[in-house]
Amino acid sequence: MSAPTFRIAVLISGSGSNLQAIMDATRTGEIAGEIVLVLSNRPGAAGLTRARQAGIPAEVIDHQPFDTRAAYDQALGQRLAALEPDLIVLAGFMRILTDPLVRTFSGQMINIHPSLLPAYRGLHTHERAIAAGETQHGCSVHYVIPELDAGPVIAQAAIPLTPNDTPATLQARVQAMEHQLYPQVVSWIADGRVALHNDQVWLDGQPLTHPPRITAETEH
Q: Which residues bind ligand GRF (CB under 6 A)?
A: 12, 14-19, 47, 91-92, 112-114, 139, 175, 178
Instruction: Give whichever of 176 and 190 is closer to ligand GRF, judged by the CB atom.
Output: 176
| Nearest distance in Å: CB 111, ligand GRF | 7
| Nearest distance in Å: CB 25, ligand GRF | 14
Instruction: Give whichever of 16 and 211 is closer to ligand GRF, judged by the CB atom.
Output: 16
Through-space distance between the first and last CA atoms of the chain, rounded to whole angstroms: 41
Instruction: Give whichever of 15 and 74 is closer to ligand GRF, judged by the CB atom.
Output: 15
Q: Phi and psi (nearest 5°) for 75?
A: -65, -45
| Nearest distance in Å: CB 105, ligand GRF | 17
Determine the residue with CB nearest ligand GRF: 92
Instruction: Give whichever of 147 and 204 is closer to ligand GRF, judged by the CB atom.
Output: 147
| Nearest distance in Å: CB 2, ligand GRF | 31
Distance CA 220, CA 58 (A): 30
Rounded to the nearest 10 degrees, the angle between the axes of helix 17-28 and helix 46-53 is 20
Distance CA 34, CA 4 (A): 10
Distance CA 214, CA 209 (A): 16
- DSSP secondary structure letter of residue 200: E
Q: Of the residues 63, 113, 142, 179, which is catalytic?
A: 113
Neighbours of 106 (CB within 10 A): 14
Distance CA 39, CA 105 (A): 16
Is 113 a known active-site residue? yes
Where in the sequence numbering do the catalytic residues fall?
113
